[in-house]
Chain A
Amino acid sequence: MTNTKRIVRAGLLTCIALIIFVVEMQIPLPVSVPGMKLGLANIVTVYAVYVLSVKETALILTARLILGAVFSGNISALLFSASGGFMCLTAMLILSRFIDKKHIWLCSMFGAVFHNLGQIIAAAAVTGTLSVFAYLPLLTVFGCIAGLFTGICAQTAVNRTEKN
């Protein structure tokens, strides 16, 4: 694949992630827990982990996090989404060496767990209190379910694109 193609692909994936991110902002959640999200934009990250290089995946995630913060108008949330996002990415990059393409959903679930952990650590650091960890179990339960869903989506995308 040429360099131009790589850049275009990364750009397109960033766009897709951002569109999903913006659409997700319009979906209200029945519960309001700090940091709780469906995290559907993570479908792109999971896909990239299995198809693209580490560098490209990290670039797509970084671009999506920064632009997402700009679009949502909530810049202060960037600290939490970034710490969660990169912790999730690191975990998935390591796990993807052991978890094959038939079990991407599993890798995505572990990623979600680490995403929540990263968020809460940042929140504890920022507020200077450990009581925010009270939210970790709730976030983890929800994150596992959401992570399973995004994982299945990414797995379908990976398997379909590989066939062509």
Chain B
Amino acid sequence: MNRKSRILAVAAMAVIFLTAVILAVHFYVKPKSDRVNIISGGQIVRTIDLSTAEDCQFDIIYEGRRNTVEIKNHTICVISADCPDLICVKTGAMGADSSGPVVCLPNRLVIEFEEASADGKSG
């Protein structure tokens, strides 16, 4: 490996890493929207306005698999699920300090802020 290609490779890695760090911080920026979409199996099954939503609990079922969603104090989270990894539960509440989506891959569930998708499309 010559000096030039080594510098190029290290520089490329540094750019990727720093870009990721900057974008990762963005993940924790407070959301601009109050509206969340609940997407199950690729379909929007519910849209909720967190600023006006009453506290409640409901189940989202996809092909017999369940995620129990709770709305409390204008935040939304998955409180229990029958997926193997329970990452969706451990992710915690969305709306208070995180704008990142709650994702349950085994049960094909995504809870996202409405504008999050638009952000994703524009980069």
- What is the interface of chain A, defined by CB distance below 8 A to chain B? 32-35, 73-74, 76-77, 80, 98-100, 102-103, 106, 109-110, 113, 123, 126-138, 140-141, 144
Within 8 A of A (CB), among B1-51: 1, 5-6, 9-10, 13, 16-17, 19-24, 26-27, 39, 41-43
How far is it, in angstroms, between the C-alpha of A129 and the C-alpha of B117 when the chains are bound? 7
B103 on interface, CB distance cutoff 8 Å = yes
Interface of A is mostly: helix
User: Are B41 and A128 in contact, with the CB atoms below 8 A?
Assistant: yes
User: Which size class do B's interface residues fall under?
Assistant: 35 or more
Report the separation of the CA atoms of residues A105 and B90 in the bound assembly, to the nearest whole angstrom: 32
> Of all chain A residues, which has the CB nearest B41?
A128
CB-CB contacts below 8 Å: B59-117 with A: 84-85, 87, 90-91, 99-101, 103, 105-106, 108-110, 112-113, 116-117
Q: How far is the CB of B40 from chain A (nearest CB, A)?
A: 9
The list of the 4 closest CB pairs from A to B, nearest first, reads: A128-B42, A130-B120, A32-B90, A137-B23
Interchain CB contact (< 8 A) of B1 among A99, A113, A131, A135: A99
